[in-house]
Each structure stands twice: as C-alpha cells, then as structure tokens.
Structure 1
Amino acid sequence: MYDPTRLAALVAVAEAGSITRAAERLGYTPPALSQQLAKLEREAGTALLVRHHRGARLTGAGEVLVARARRVLDELERARHELARLTGLSGGTLRLGTFQTAGIHLLPPVLSAFRRAYPHVELSVADCEPPAGIAAVAAGEIDLALTHTYEPAEEVPLPSSVRAEPVLVEELVLVTAPGHTLAGGSARLPLTELAGQPLISMAPDHPARQGVEAALARAGATPSVLVATPGYALVCALVSAGLGVGVVPEMVARTTATPVGVRALEGGQLRRTISVAHRADEVAPAADAFRALLRGAFTRARHA
C-alpha cells in the first residue's frame, strides 16, 4: 500500500515542476523530499520522475500514479472533513502561542495542513517566548504553546494543569564569521577549542540558556557581547560581523539570513528540546488534532 504522504509529495512535484519548489510548498528540505520520492519509486517498482536541469517531469508510470493519487488524496480530504464534523471540528477557535524560531520555520507547514483538514476552525497565533507560553496555557489564554528547554539546565516544574509533549530535539552548534579558523573542517569541535574565544552571549537574561552558557564558560569561552533579548537573528548578525562566536540551535544556524560558518560540537550534549504545551485532562478536539499533525510532521522530519 502506498504511503499517502509520499503520494502527496509526487503530486506536489507534478504541480510545481521541480523538487525544490515542491519541497518549499510542503515544508520539507529538497533532500528530505527526494528521499520520500525514492521510497515511493521503490514501492512502485519503477521510475516515476525524470530529473533535468530545469526541474523534474513525470514518467509514464508517474502520470498514471499521479492521476490515481489525486483521487486517493481527495477521498482522504473528504474523510477528514466528515470526521471533523463528527468530532466538533467544524467550527470554533484554536489559539496558539509560539516562539519566534518555531513560528517562522516550523509552524507554517503544520498550520497549512490543519487549515486544509479543518477549514472552518478559526486560528489565532500569539508571540509567546518561553516560558511565557506555558503560563498562558495554564491561565487558559491560549490552547497550545510551542515552547523549548535547553540542556544542560535545571529542570523547571510545569504547572499541575499543563503537560508538555516533546516533538523535536536539536543540537546546538557553533556559528562563526565566514572563513573563521574554527569553521573549517568537518570533525566535531571540542568545547575546549572555544577557550579564549569572544562569545556572543544570551545569558543571564535568558534563563533557559544559563546552563548552556555555564558549560561554555567552563570550557573557557569569554563573554564578549550580551544580547539580553531572546533574538537569535541578532546573535547571528553580530557573529557574521566578526564580533565573536555563538552557540545556537542548529535550525537557527541553517536558516539565518546573515552568512555564518557552522560547525557541530563534540559530544552533542548541548541541546534544545521543542515541545508543545497543553492543558491536561481537557477535552479539546481542535487542540488534539493540531498536536497529532505536529507529531506527524516532526516524525517525518526525524525519519526523512
């Protein structure tokens, strides 16, 4: 049986005319989407696409499968709408909170999928830098919040009414100015190599980062510039200008608008966990449906 996610990927490539444009539409990276298409071709037992310098086109077998795939996906969409009516998702409001990185790079494709599945649910999105989102969920001001924690760090207990479900764990990586000596090489960099390096810091005014920056201090990194607001875009801009080095989540490093060198750190012990916070023991069909879409999106990202 063909995976509907891979069928949707093939349809997207057929409509977009290239894997790159289809990946942007679906919220994948081009390599991840290529892997999904390769798996579909193995399932089909034949080539479905021909890649060329301008993009990709369907083979004869691909055209047959796309025609059938559109029918299958249409039926699944109808089923989602019918189930939505049965489960109370034909109206109402879903209130979301998110921090900036997740709001820009993770939330849009999941919101798009939710809108396609439940078009009659009204959506609102609030800017909630951690830990404010958890407090807002506990107070009933929003239904769900994307939040994060860092390692190493002291564990902060959640309010008894709130649960946090981890959806993605990412390493923190070194960012430097382009051409910096520490950016060269593919091997993981020992933290001790940061001794004496000027560090663009986000502590002490960023509580979640304090444990991470304590580890960097023990390795000898020297605070140079303090960015007191939780703005990784500013950290990367200062790093790019040569004012120091930074240690940021990998997602931030790969998507920053300013050019930086990126290098993985030895041990992989500096991490950020992104979670979705929700109220426990509450019947909330829209929130439950959104959490299910989040789990599916991040599961695909981990296994792509």
Structure 2
Amino acid sequence: MYDPTRLAALVAVAEAGSITRAAARLGYTPPALSQQLAKLEREAGAALLVRHHRGTRLTAAGELLLVRARRVLGELEQARHELARLAGLSGGVLRVGTFVTAGTHLLPPALSAFRRAHPDVELSVTEYVPPEETEAMALGEVDLALTHEYVPGEPMAVPDGLALEPLLTEELVLVTAPGHALSAGSGRLPLAGLAGHPLVSMAPANPNRRGVEAVLAAAGASVAVRCESPGYEVVCALVSAGLGVAVVPEMMAEGSVTPLGMRRLDPPELLRRISVVHRPGGGSPAADTLRALLRGAFARHAAAP
C-alpha cells in the first residue's frame, strides 16, 4: 500500500517541476523529500522521476502513478471534510464568553490553535463581568465560557446542567507605584506590612474587595480605601500615579499598561481561580474541542487552594 505522504510528495514534484521547489512547498529539506521519493520508487518497483539540470520530470510510470495519486489524495481530503462535518466541526459558529483577563491572556492562543485545526468554524467572542457569562451559558447565549471566583470567597453558584472545570489558580499580588518602599524587597511581603498604607480598591460590593479586606484585617493590617474603581485596569493606573497601593491578580499586574512595582504577599492565601463553564455530556463538538485545548494549555497550573 502506498503511503499518502509519499504520494503527496510525487504530486508536489510534478507540479513544482523540481525537488527543491517541491520541498519548500511541503516544508521538507530537499534531501528529506528525495528520501521519500526513493521509498515511493521502491514501493512502485519502477523509476518515477528523471532528474536533469533544470529540475525533474516524471517517467511514464511516474505519470501513471500521478493520476492515481491525485485521485487518492482527493478522496482522503473529501473524507476529512465529511468526518469533520459529521463531528460538527465543519461550519457553524462557536460562541465563547469570557472576562477581560482571560480574553487577553488565556483565550487567544487556544482560539488560534482551534482555528488552525478547524478553519470552517466561525468564532464569536463576547465579554462579560463574572458571573454574567455563567448566566449567558444557562440562557444558551454562548457555548462555552471562561469565568473566575476568588479565594477566600463564596463559591460561585452554577446553574443546573452546567459545570465548572478549573484551569488555573493565580495569586493576588501587591502593586505599587514604581520605586515605592513596599515593592523594594526581594522576598514576600508579610500581609501586616500593608498596615497604614492607603488602598486603591474595587467597588464595595466586589467579592474580591471584601475578601482582601477580611484577610488583611485578620493579619492586623486594616487599611483605608482612598480610591475606588470598577475595573482592575483603572485600579492599576491609579496605583501607578501614586494614589495608593492595591492587591490585584498577578496577570493583571504583569499585563498592566502603566508602570508598576510588584511584590508577592505572605502568606499567599489571596487567590483567583479561573475556570471554564461547560455542559457535561451535552456540549457541542466544537465547544468540547476548545475546552480540551484550554485544559491542555492551562490545567497543569490548576493547583487547588
């Protein structure tokens, strides 16, 4: 039985007119492609190519096999499309819900890999503020969603028919204006070290703000909130301008567009857990495929708090 890879090599040489040009088209080196063609000639029991100073031409046996090779490769490509359509990965739309951090740092590489494997599936991404994306899943507005919850904090309520699969857990870290004394040390900063420093924080109802203030108070570091903002991007900008310090997820600190000082806290008990919301046993093939890509990329970091 002829190897389809070698048949594709024969077709490429016939179309390119030389092994060198065919190798460049297929991503081989010329010697590697020559080896594939030599194996094909042994399988065929006949010379398939004649090399000359301007390139390569096919022999009569090569021309005969070329016709069959194109037919075989065409059938295999048709089978691939039909199997993809059967699996629900050819055509259609995959609707994804996300929040800002995940949409910026986690989702793009997974969607890029998905698009390379399934270019016929249209992608739609909608931004939410957690837990809005979970509600959107329950209403059928999206097929898969990324969400987060804080530790310590109340567990997220998950509607019937949905489940959370943790992808990663990140620490919350201290951010300061560049050169601030609290960010000068190399080791972790004890939580009590924040005592007396004004805090830039989220709105009072934000679950992370409540958790941060509770942990700091338990460590003897009650703080006064000087500024409030509804989003981490503005919190980081206000901190960068010297209006106070803040405790934010590590990915937000590292991705800030304004300059910041950063330091890890001790103990590292303030966490943010990022999960994918899915339908166990009832997701579309496209949604299940993207979830597998996300799991493969990030689940190794999903340490339980």
* 8 A Cα contact 1:176 1:242, kept in partner: yes
Q: 1:210 corresponds to which residue?
A: 210
SS of residue paired to 1:84: helix
Change (3 A) 1:281 1:175: same
How many angstroms apart in 2 are the aligned matches of 1:222 and 1:258? 23
Q: Deviations over 1:1-25 (max 9, x none)?
A: xxxxxxxxxxxxxxxxxxxxxxxxx
Aligned to 2:257: 257
Q: What is the distance in 2 between the residues matched to 1:198 and 1:131?
A: 29
1:145 is displaced (CA, Å) by 1.0
Corresponding position of 1:226: 228
The equivalent residue for 1:295 is: 295
- In the TM superposition, 1:50-89 aligns within 5 A as 84-89=84-89
Q: Answer whether contact 2:233 2:256 (CA < 8 A) is retained.
A: yes
Shift of 1:152: 0.6
Q: Deviations over 1:40-73 (max 9, x none)?
A: xxxxxxxxxxxxxxxxxxxxxxx97xx79xx9xx
Partner of 2:48: none
The CA RMSD measured in Å over matched residues stands at: 2.5
Q: Distance in 2 between matches of 1:164 and 1:300?
A: 16
Instruction: Provide structure 1 residue ranges, at least 5 long, that are not aligned to the other structure.
Output: 1-62, 72-77
CA–CA separation in structure 1 for the residues paired with 2:234 and 2:99: 15
Q: Could you tell me the percent identity over the aligned residues?
A: 61
* Distance across 2 between alignment mates of 1:209 and 1:81: 50
Alignment of 1:1-304 (within 5 A): 84-218=84-218, 219-227=221-229, 229=230, 231-299=231-299
Matched AA of 1:174: L
| Corresponding residue SS for 2:265 | coil
Q: Please tell me whether Structure 1 or Structure 2 has the larger radius of gyration of its CA atoms.
A: 2
TM-score, length of structure 2 as denominator length: 0.70
SS at match of 1:296: helix
Name the aligned partner's letter for residue 126 of structure 2: A
Cα distance, 1:213 vs structure 2: 2.9
Alpha-carbon shift at residue 207 of structure 1 (Å): 2.9
Cα separation, 2, equivalents of 1:90 and 1:298: 26
Q: How far did residue 108 of structure 1 move?
A: 1.0
Offset, 1:217 = 3.9
State the 1:204 CA deviation: 1.6
CA distance in 2, matches of 1:113, 1:81: 18
The structure-2 alpha-carbon separation of the partners of 1:177 and 1:89, relative to structure 1 and needing over 3 Å to count, comes to same
Task: Output the amino acid matched with 1:211.
Answer: G
Q: What is the SS of the residue equivalent to 1:288?
A: helix
SS in 1 for 2:251: helix
Aligned length: 229
Q: Which SS does the other structure have where 2:89 is aligned? A: coil
Q: Which residue of 2 aligns with 1:36?
A: none
CA contact (8 A) 1:175 1:247 kept: yes
